[in-house]
Amino acid sequence: MRVIIIGAGQVGSSIAADLDETHEVVVIDCDPERVDELNYSLDVLALHGDGTSVDTLEEADVERADMVIASTDDDETNIVACATAKAISNAFTIARVKNTEYLRTWQRSEKAFGIDFMVCTNLLAAESIVRVVGLPAARDVDPFAGGQVQMAEFEVDEESPVANQTVSEADRFDSLTFAAILRDGEVTIPRGDSVIGPGDRVVVIGSPKSVQGFASSVSPDEPPGTAEEVVIVGGSEIGYHVARLLEERGFKPRLIEHDAERARELAEMLPGTIVMESDATDVDFLEREYIGDADLLVSALDSDEKNLLVSLLAARLGVERTVAVIDTTPYVDLFEAVGVDVGVSPREVVAEEITRFTREGGAENVALIESDKAEVLEIEVDAESVLAGKPIRESVATLPEGVVIGAITRRREFITPRGDTVIEPGDHVVVFVDSCVIDDVTPNL
């Protein structure tokens, strides 16, 4: 497939890096230095130019392209680039936007702007933050098969009752599959007698109810889903969407915003949220409002450093768990190491979403584990798939190590995969795949 990526920022480069081995990738950027750098670091063709101009797109041979991904930091540029590409080619166009208004317009008529798929950075980031709420100890939660299946990544600390248990001891849930154990950055596919050590992270796939159940067995002190006290710091677009999505789920979050006008605007848009106008580093204020009693604090300010500061301050005041929005993707690991419980990078989330469209084999949905150590894919099984018409025991034997069938849905019904389960064409299968084997495996599924 020939893919043109417009904008070689963090999102564009990360998608390019993900695709360069298997696809013909052309990257367009208006910064000549970045173009130079890309030409050396990745196996792609990087062009210098304006992605919204017909000349540049023709230079990139857009007529032959199968897909155009506009991923600059500017919404309007991305929209115009897609529309231009659509006007002179038949490529599938994907645009990244920040403003949800554009997303709403596009959702109304999926022909709007000549865009075939639109991803909204702020909304996706907010959604991934909100998924973590209600699942204590969860570092990442992703829905699959229209919400019927959940993938969750948990950190097991020393006090957890699950620590030092074997997988078969820990697995007390019918519709739950242990997909992987992550230890020191290494992915292992667990067997019944594998021991879950303290500090490990486990990836489980199952029905939302069983994932919730497992969450409470990882940390029984905090029953999941109970009226959690959530404080959001920063009324950015992400902060706003987090509050809005929590409201939809029946929470009554508190949101702290220091700009008076923005605070008023947010208070008008969010009837179920208590908006407070203050500086989140004002310790007197935080104590007066008992912010330390909160179960979860989301810091969504516009600077990574401030988010780190606020998270650390909150943790010191006694907040159970902190989630920080981190713009600079490489900081995520660092921030999590120094004390932020969950770091969410909007750019990474978007890159993940776009990657799902570029997968061969028709993956419906993709989640990346530990940035790129492994992937969880949702696949609609067709008759040609190696999985179709066979019991799982047989089909897995033909696949390399590092593949776990996590869950199956058939006509929107959840089916727990067992050795003798026969997968039928049309079923949706959620699979965990180690990155080392992903390129061998996905074309066959």
Partner 1 sequence: MKLRVDYRASLRLVGTVLKYLAVPLCFPLVVALYYGESVLPFVVTMAVTVLVGTGLERLADDPDIGAREGFLMVALTWLAVTIVGAIPFLIEAHGIPFVASPIHPESTLGNPVNALFETMSGFTTTGATVLGDISFDSHTRGIMMWRQLTQWLGGMGIVVLAVAILPELSVGGAQLMDAEAPGPGIEKLTPRIAETARALWGAYLGLTVLEIVLLYGLNVTGHAQNMGVYNAIAHGLTTMPTGGFSPEARSIEAFSAAAQWVVIPFMVAAGTNFALFWHVLTGDPKRLFRDTEFKSYLGVIGVVSAILAGILFLGDGLMSVAPAGETYDQLYLEGIRTAIIGNVEPAVRQSVFQVVSIVTTTGYASIDFNAWSAPAQYVLLFAMFIGGSGGSTGGAVKIVRWYVIVKSLRRELFTTAHPEAVRPVRLAGRAVDERAIRGIYAFTLLYLVLFFVSTGLLHLDAARIGFDVSILETMSAVAATLGNVGPGFGVVGPMGSYLDFSNGSKLYMVLLMWVGRLEILPVLVIFTPEYWRR
Provide the binding-site residues for partner 1, judged by CB under 8 A. Answer: 256-257, 260, 263-264, 266-268, 271, 274-278, 285, 289
Distance CA 303, CA 322 (A): 16
- From the CB of 257, what's the least distance to partner 1, in Å? 8
Residue 186, burial from CB neighbour count under 10 angstroms (0-12, 13-18, 19+): exposed
Helical H segments across 150-303, by residue range = 167-170, 208-218, 237-248, 260-269, 283-288
**Phi/psi at 410 (nearest 5 deg)?**
-125, 120
Cβ distance 313 to 294 under 8 Å?
no
Q: How far is the CB of 230 from partner 1 (least distance, A)?
A: 16
Shortest spacing between CB 385 and partner 1, in angstroms: 49
Within a 10 A sphere around the Cβ of 250, how many other Cβ atoms? Answer: 8
Give min distance, CB of 242 to partner 1, in A: 17
Angstrom distances, CA of residue 326 to CA of 100, 238, 300: 20, 11, 8
User: Cα–Cα distances in Å, from 405 out to 34, 151, 360, 429?
Assistant: 40, 12, 18, 7
For partner 1, the closer CB: 221 or 287: 287
Say whether 17 sits in a helix, a strand or coil: helix
Q: Which residue has the tokens 């109304």?
A: 108
Nearest to 300 by CA among 230, 232, 229: 232
Q: Measured from the CB atom, is 19 or 276 closer to partner 1?
A: 276
Which is closer to partner 1, CB of 69 or CB of 291? 291
Question: C-beta of 338: minimal distance to partner 1 in Å?
Answer: 29
261 vs 401 by CB, closer to partner 1: 261
> Residue 229 or 277: which CB sits closer to partner 1?
277
Burial degree of 109 (CB within 10 A; 0-12, 13-18, 19+): exposed
Q: CB 100 → partner 1: shortest distance, Å? A: 19
CB-wise, 262 or 306, nearer to partner 1?
A: 262
Rounded to 10 deg, the angle between the 237-248 and 121-132 helix axes is 50
Tell me whether residue 125 or residue 275 sits nearer to partner 1 (CB atom).
Answer: 275
**Nearer to partner 1 (CB atom), residue 7 or residue 253:** 253
Contact 406, 431 (CB under 8 A): yes
Q: Cα–Cα distances in Å, from 192 out to 136, 177, 196?
A: 25, 11, 11
What type of residue is 102?
Y
Q: Where are the beta strands (DSSP E) in 278-424?
A: 296-299, 321-325, 342-344, 363-369, 374-380, 403-410, 413-415
Residue 263: CB minimum distance to partner 1, A: 4
Q: Which is nearer to partner 1, 289 or 327 (CB)?
A: 289
If the CB atoms of residues 179 and 276 are measured against partner 1, the closer one turns out to be 276
Cα 95 to the chain's mean position, in Å?
17
Task: Decide: 409 and 145 in contact? Cβ < 8 Å.
Answer: yes
Least separation in angstroms between residue 289's CB and partner 1 is: 7
**Residues 6 or more apart whose Cβ sits within 8 Å of residue 76:** none
Report the residue number, 91 or 266, with the smaller CB distance to partner 1. Answer: 266
Nearest residue (CB) to partner 1, 187 versus 263: 263
Strand partners, 367: 376
CA 178 vs. chain centroid, Å, equals: 20
| Least CB distance to partner 1 at residue 276 (A) | 4
CB of 260 to partner 1, least distance (A): 8
Please report how close the Cβ of residue 272 comes to partner 1 at its closest, in angstroms. 11
DSSP letters of 398-413? HSPSSEEEEEEEETTE
In angstroms, the CA 407 to CA 422 distance is: 12
For the CB of residue 247, give the shortest distance to partner 1 in the complex, in Å.
13
